[in-house]
Structures are given as structure tokens and as C-alpha cells.
Amino acid sequence: MSSNFLNALGGTRLYPLTDRQLSKLSHAEQISQLSAGGAKVVQLREKSLSPLEFYREAEAAVRVARECGLTIIINDRVDIALALKADGVHLGQDDMPAEAARGILGPRAIIGFSTHNVEQAQLAAAMPVDYVAIGPMFATLTKQGGYAPVGLEELNLVRQAIGGRPLVAIGGITFENSLSVLSAGADALSLIRDIWIPDGQASNRTRRLLHRL
């Protein structure tokens, strides 16, 4: 089960997220930019739209992802992912249980799960999820639910705690610290601010980052 996610990454180590607070582009346009920059797997995250508006945005984004050959993961809403035949969902600690999501999405869907410390990561490793996300790695301005930064030392403990399960690091990751996070045990990096800031355009920074990783 674990290999679905790594297969989709196809050797890349970047798993960027869309963000309508940091970019004025629609989710679909953001997907298009991330694809142009070389990303293979992207996550659609949306916290402020109504379910209907999110559905419409996600519908357009899934269409673009299909055209570009991208793997697209939907944050939180399992029903929207299922209805649009997206490739999977990303669930947080407060979302519906991974077991329930697996039950309705089936064995081929990619399911990711957010954790914020070693204990949560250990629990996640026993769940039917394809990857474990850990964060925030460093202090960040992007909302992370009030958890303390994990840091490289605890990341290494998480790596050991979850065995071979794919591990995604998120939160406060920049061009500068990216390699150290991979060295400490992450399989892939979720960047948000450092690819969308300063101008809401991400294709060039995505390309430069993928060269670096």
C-alpha cells in the first residue's frame, strides 16, 4: 500500500499545496503552475470556501491535473474526492477516521494523515494510510493548529518510529532548510509559503526547488 504515494512522486521529493490566501490564482491555475514547475503530486487545501464552492474549484483542478498527468490529493473532504475521482485525500487529526475514509475510497486511493509529534506518528503508522505527514517542522506563519515546531531531531525519531512508511515534512520548510529536512529522514517536503510568496506565482520557484532536492 505504501508505494502508491512514492510511485506517484516518481523520484521527485516535493509535495506542494495550493493556497488561495498566498496566491490570487484559482486552485486549477495553481495546479497548472505547479505542474509547469515539475511537481508530480499536489494537494488541494481550502479552508474558507463553502462545500459547493470548494467542489466547483476542485472539479476544475482535477480536470487540469488529469490533463497534466498530475496526482491530486484533496484535503479533508472525502466526499468531494470520491465524487470527482481525485487520487486521494489528506486527513488531519480532527477529520474523519482514516479507516472510514479507506472504507469508502477503496484500496487504491492515496490517504495521507497529519501528525504533530512522535506519539501521533506512531499511531498513524498503524492506520491504513499511504503516508504520514509531520509538522510544523519549524516556526511558521501558516496556521498549523497551535502545535510546537517538531525540529530535525524529533523528525529523526519519527522516521524511526514509523518504519518504512513514507514520511512528508511540512511547516516552515524553505529553500535553505530543505536539504537538512530530507537528510533527517523525510521522503518528501510539503512547501507552501516559499513557493507562493512573494508574488503568488509558483512555477519558477517549483522548478528551482526541484533542481535543488
Residues annotated as part of the active site = 45, 114, 143
1, 104, 139, 141: which one binds its own copies (CB under 8 A): 104
CB of 81 to its own copies, least distance (A): 8
For its own copies, the closer CB: 14 or 73: 73
Residues 29, 199, 55: CA angle, nearest 5 degrees: 30
DSSP structure class, residue 117: S
Count of residues of this chain found to bind its own copies when the rule CB under 8 A is applied:
22
The CB-side HSE value for 42 (13 A sphere, CA atoms) comes to: 33
Residue 187's contacts (CB-CB under 8 Å, 6 or more residues apart) are 6, 9, 13, 131, 166, 167, 168
Q: Is 138 in the site for its own copies (CB under 8 A)?
A: no
For its own copies, the closer CB: 11 or 52: 52
48, 94, 108, 146: which one binds its own copies (CB under 8 A): 94
Q: Is 52 in the site for its own copies (CB under 8 A)?
A: yes
Q: Is 82 in the site for its own copies (CB under 8 A)?
A: yes
Q: Is 101 in the site for its own copies (CB under 8 A)?
A: yes
Q: Is 28 in the site for its own copies (CB under 8 A)?
A: no
CB of 46 to its own copies, least distance (A): 13
Q: CA-to-CA distance for 16 and 213, rounded, in angstroms?
A: 13
Residue 26, classed as helix, strand or coil, is coil
Residue among 33, 32, 79, 26 at smallest CA distance from 209 = 33
78, 137, 169, 184: which one binds its own copies (CB under 8 A): 78
CB of 40 to its own copies, least distance (A): 26
Sign of CA dihedral 71, 74, 80, 81: positive
Residue pair 168/112 in contact by the 8 Å Cβ criterion: yes
Stretch that binds its own copies, among 12-20, 99-107, 120-128, 156-164 (CB under 8 A): 99-107
Sign of CA dihedral 110, 123, 119, 145: positive
For its own copies, the closer CB: 106 or 198: 106
Q: CA-to-CA distance for 51 and 175, rounded, in angstroms?
A: 33
- Chain positions contacting its own copies, by CB under 8 A: 50-53, 55, 76-80, 82-84, 93-97, 100-101, 103-104
